[in-house]
Structure 1
Amino acid sequence: MSRLRERLRNALGWGSDSRSVPDGGVVVEDGEGTDAGTAAADEAVGPGEEGHGVADEAGVNRAATLAGAGFEQVFNATSIPTFILDCDGNVAEWNESIATLTGVDRDEAVGHGHVSELFYPDGRRADTLADKVLDAPTNADEVYGVEPCDSARDRYRDASTMVDRHGEERHIEFTATALYDDGELVGVTEVVIDRTETVNERDATSELVAEVRETAEAIGEGDLDARAGHRDSFEHLDGDLIRVVDVVNRMADNLDELSSGVHEKARDLDETVEEASAAAADIAENVDEQNELLEESVSEMQSFSAGMEEVAATADQVDSAAVAASEAADEGLDASEDAREATEDVVEIGDELVESVGALSERMDDIEEVIEVISDVAEQTNLLALNANIEAARAGEGGDGFAVVAEEVKKLADETRGYTEEITESLDKLQTQSAETTTAVERSHERIEDAGTEIETVLDSLEEIADAVDEAAAGVAEVARTTDDQAATVEELTSSLEAVRERSDRTEDATERIVDATDDQEAAVDELIARVERLDAR
C-alpha cells in the first residue's frame, strides 16, 4: 500500500512541501525546492503517451516521501467526500467526509475490492463511476454512457441516489478522474457531492410552484375557495419563499371578498341600469309620441293657417253680413210692432165673437123654450081633437061634421108635433154645435191672448237681438281687423313647430342611441353578474 501511495503521490504531483489536497483533480501549489513552474494536478493527472499500463513495483521510495508529507492528514482535511481506487479497483484512500456519508470507517474501506458495497446497505455489487473510468479511462462516455466533463483530463460526471447510514435517501453527484504516473494509469479519484439538500430544495420549490400554480389556475377558473396548502417538503425551503403560500392565500381571500363586493355592486348596477333602461324606453316612447303629436300639430297648424287665411279673406263678407243682419233685425222689429197691433185687433175681435156666440146661445135657449110651448100646444090640441071625436061619436049623425073638423084638427096637431120634434132635434144639434163653437172660440181666444203674450216676448227678444246684432257687427269688424294679424302669427308658429319637429327628430335619433347604449350596458352587466354567479357557484 505504501508503494501505491508513492505512485499516487507522483501521479498527483505532490512535492515534499505540498500544501494542497486532491479534490477530484484540483490543482496543488508548488513546494519549496521544486522547480518553478512545476504543474499541479492538471499536468500530473493528464495522460502521457498513448496506452496506459498497470503500475509496476518501481518507485517504492515515493510512498515514504508521501507519508512524510502527511498525505492521509491532508486527504482527510477536505470537506468533500472523496475516495481513490488503485489500478486494481481496490480502495486506496477513503477520507473522513465520505466515511460520514456512508457510515463506513476508513480502516474498513481501504483495501475493499468492491466499493459499491460500501455505498449500498444491501451489499449490492455494481460498478461505481470510478470503476467505469478505471475500466475505460479515455472513452467511458462511449462505453458506459456517462457524461464527460473534461475529456483532456479523462474526467466524467454522473448522478444517482443512495441510502445513508441513517436509512435516509441521499441524492449524490460524483466526478471521477483518471490518475496517471508518467503516462501510466495508477488509479481513479472520485469526488462525491451530496446534493440532497439542493435536490430537496429544488423539488420543494417545484412543489411550491405547482401548488401556487394550481391554486392560481383554480382561482382563475372561478374556484374562489381554492387555497394553497403547506406541504411537508416545504421545510427544505427558506421562510421567505414559503411566505408565498400565505401571500397567495391572502390574495385569494381578497379576491373572494372583492368578488362578493363586485357581485353586490353588479346587482346594484344592474338595478340602476334596468331603471335607466326603463327610463330610456319611456323617453323613447315619449319622444315617439311627441313626434307624432308634433306631426299632428304641424299638420293642424298648416290646416289652421289655411283656415285663417280663408277667415281673413271672408272677414269683410262676414262684416257685411253682420250689417245686413242688423238691418234685418231692425226690419223684423218693425214687422213685430205691426204684428203686435194686428194681434191686439184679433184679440178684440175674438172678445166680440165670444160675446156674440154667448148671445146666440142665450137666444137658442129662448127658441127652445118657445118650441116647448108649441109642443105643449100640439099636445093639448091633439087631446082636444080626441075629445071632439068622442063627443061626435056620442052625438051620432049630427056630430059627423064636427067629427070631420076634429079629425082635421088632430091631423094638424100631429103634423105640428112632428115639425116640433124635427125643430127640437135640429135645435139640439144647433145647441151642440153652438157649445162646441163657444168652446173653440174660447180656446182660440185663449190662444190669441197667449200669442199676444208671446208676441210681446218676441218683440222684447227682437229688441235684444237687434242690440246683440249691432254689438256682433262691431265685434266682427274687430275680428276682421285682427284676423290678418293672427294669420301672420299662425304662419310664424307653424314655422316654429316645423323647426321643433326637426329638433325632435334629432332628439329621437339621440334617444335611440341612448336606448341602444343602455341595452348594451344592461347586457354587459348581466354578463358580469352571470360570471360572478358562476364564480360564487364554484
Structure 2
Amino acid sequence: MSAPTMKSTHRDAGGLAPEVEAESEVEQLRYERDYWRGLFEQLVENYPKMAVVLDTEDRLAHHNDVAEAVTGFDAETVLGENVYDAYPISEDDETFAQTVTREGQSRTEDEYRSIPTADGERWVQSTGVPLRDPDGELVGALETTTDVTDLVDQQQTITEVQSQVSEEVSTKADSAVETTERVDEAIESTRSLADEQVENMEEVAEEVGSLSATVEEVAASAEEVNERAAKAERLAAQSAESGADAIERMSDVAERSDEVADRTRNLAEQVAAIDDIVEVINDIAEQTNILALNANIEAARAGEAGDGFAVVADEVKSLATEVQSESERIDEIIREIRTEAEETIESVENVADEVHDGTDTIRELVDNQQTIVEVVDETSTGMEDIAEATDDQAVRTEEVASMVDTAADRAKSVSDEVETIADANAEQAAFVSDIAVAIERLESTVDQLDIDETVTIERGG
C-alpha cells in the first residue's frame, strides 16, 4: 500500500510559492529548493544587463550572456574560477560584488568605473545585492552592471567640446570686447563725421539754393541770348542783302571806272594830237618870224618905199611872236593836261582795281555773312535747346535742392541713430562682459565634469 500524497500550498503573505505534490516531506523540500534555484537562475540569465554572482570565496557562481558580451569571457571558462583568475584584475582591486559582500548591504555605485575586458577597458556602473541563506548567513553577492562606455565617451566628448567651445567662446568674447572697443571708437569717429556731414549738408543745401537761383538766372539769360541771336540772325540776313546790293553797285562803279579810264586815255591821245598841232604852229610861228625878219631886212634895203612893208613885217613878227608865245603856253598846258591825264588814268585804274578788290571783298563778306546767317541760325537753334535744357536744369536743380534738404534731414537722423548705436554698443559691451562671466562659470562646470577626476577606476569584473 503506497504512502499518501502530500500537497503543499503554503504561501506567505505576498510573493511566489510553489504548489508541490510530493509523497514525502523530503521530496517537497527538494522540489521547493529546485523551484527557487530555478527562479534565481532564470533571473540571472535573463537579466537584460550584465549579471554575475560571487560566493564568499570569490568564486564565480553565475555569469550571464550579457556578461559574456561585455567582458568577452564565456561562462564555461570562468564559472567556478576565482575572480582574480577569471578576470585580468589586480589583487589590490575588488569587484563591486566583493565590496557588497564585504559591507553586507545592498547599494548602487554613485560614480562610473572602468573594468578590464577581453577587448579593453569598459566603463560601467553597478548595483550589488548581498545573498544570505535561510539562517541569514552571507553566502555571496549578486552584481548587476550597466555598460556606460558610450555614455562616458559622450561625456568625455562633450567635456572636450565644451572645453574647446569654452576656449573658443572665451577667445571670441575677448575678440568681441576688443571689437566692441574698436566699434566704440568707430562710432565716436562716425558721430564726428555725422555731425560734420550735417554741417556740410547744410552748407550744400545753401549752395544748391544759390545754384538754383543762378540756374534760373542763366535760364533767363539764355532766353535773352536766344532773342539776341534771333535778332543777330535777322541783321545778318539784312547785311547779306545789303552786301549783295553793294556788290551790284560796286560792279557798276567798276564798269564806269573802266569807262572813265578809257575816256581819259582817249583824251590823252587827243591832247597828244593837239601837242603835235602845237608843234606845227610853233614851226609856222618860227618860220613866220623868220619871214618877218627877212621882210624887215628887205624893207630896210628899200628905204622909205619899204616903210609900209616894214610895218607889216613888224606886225607879222609881233603876231608870230605872240602866236609862238601862246603856242608855248598851250604846249605847257598840254603837258600839264597830259600829266594830269596820266595821273588821272593811273588813279582811275587804281580806283578800278580797288573797286574790283572791294567787289571781291564785299562778295567774300556776303559769303561770310551768309555763313554767319547759317551759324547764327544754328546758334539760335542751339540757344533754344540750351534755354530749354537750362529751364529743365532749373527744375532739376530745384529737385536736387529738395533732395539735399531731405539728405540733410537724413544726415541729422543718422547722427541721432549714431547716438542710439553708441548706446546699443555700450549695452553690447555689458552683454559681452556677462558672456565672459558665464564662460568662467562654464569652465568651472567643465572642470567638475572631468571624468578622470570624478570616477573611481576599478580593475575587476
Greater relative CO (CA pairs within 8 A, separation 6+):
2
Using structure 2 for the length normalisation, give the TM-score: 0.41
